Amino acid sequence: MGIWEMSGNYGGEQEVFRRNKLLLKCIQVGLFCTNCYLVMNEDTSEGLIIDPGADPIKICYAIDDMGMIPVAILLTHGHFDHIMAVNELKRKYDIRVFILDAEKKLLSDPVLNSSNGLIKQPYTTSADVFLEDNDSVVLAGLTIKVIATPGHTVGGACYHLSKQKILFSGDTLFYESIGRSDLPTGDSDLLIKSVRTRLAVLPEDTFVLPGHGVTTSIGHEKRCNSYMRSNKYNE
């Protein structure tokens, strides 16, 4: 990752990455240490909030610290640990929430989003824009391609900024691993297929920012992640 100028606490509460006038901050939120990402276009100070899973006050402090003007919330999927600050942030900033259309039902169903089953705190929220596979959206001056990666959940997605060579992989792809598939709407075969057919084909120098844990790259995962190397779904 030598091309990145990095600062902050490595492996700690916050990490900051800067590239080509893009400022990225990762904040770990909630009991499950979800990576909430703040992505700011330094030309305009506009930016995105990705997966605000908890701790809205902490997220707001980080936004203020960056001087970021939030313009949208992007959700990689609807699990409770990625959405539980959405209502507060929507109220504070009056911005739209984006999610894959196939994931819509998780937002309104505490059983499907596992807030009922895993933490006994039923939570619901809603989105404003429902995306489809291969959509491209321009937000904060950044072009974001939607890659549907079902398997962790039915409507899970990764967000690809091809110009900046960045992938927000949610709980689909982790450092040398992949997400679980035993929660409602999960499907292990589909998850491996998504990783193998939709993510392994990206450029190897794509910087991968997952929903939990440390960053990686497509190249590293192709070499070291047995799920991605699997030939089971070669076409």
Residues near Fe ion (CB under 5 A) are 79, 171
CB of 195 to Fe ion, least distance (A): 15
By C-beta, is 165 or 193 nearer to Fe ion?
Answer: 193
Q: Which is nearer to Fe ion, 149 or 215 (CB)?
A: 149
Q: Closer to Fe ion at the Cβ: 162 or 181? A: 181
Query: Can you tell me which residue has the tokens 């809603």?
Result: 126
Nearer to Fe ion, 32 or 130 (CB): 32
Least distance from Fe ion to the Cβ atom of residue 171, Å: 4
We find the least distance from the C-beta atom of residue 228 to Fe ion, in angstroms, to be 18
Closest separation in Å from C-beta 77 to Fe ion: 6
In the complex, least distance from residue 169 CB atom to Fe ion, rounded to whole angstroms:
11
CB 89 within 8 A of CB 73: yes
CB of 84 to Fe ion, least distance (A): 12
Whether the Cβ atoms of residue 158 and residue 167 lie closer than 8 Å to each other:
yes
Tell me whether residue 22 or residue 155 sits nearer to Fe ion (CB atom): 155
Closer Cβ to Fe ion, 103 or 221, answer by number: 103
Q: Which of 16, 19, 41, 18 is nearest to 27 (CA)?
A: 16
Are 126 and 97 in contact by the 8 Å Cβ rule? The answer is yes
Residue whose tokens read 């709980």? 171
CA dist 110 and 81 (Å) reads 12
Burial of 163 by CB count in 10 Å (0-12 exposed, 13-18 middle, 19+ buried)?
exposed
CA distance to 49, 147, 189, per residue, from 163 (Å): 19, 15, 30
Report the candidate in 105, 37, 205 with the shortest Cα–Cα distance to residue 221: 205
Q: Tokens representing 180? A: 């679980």
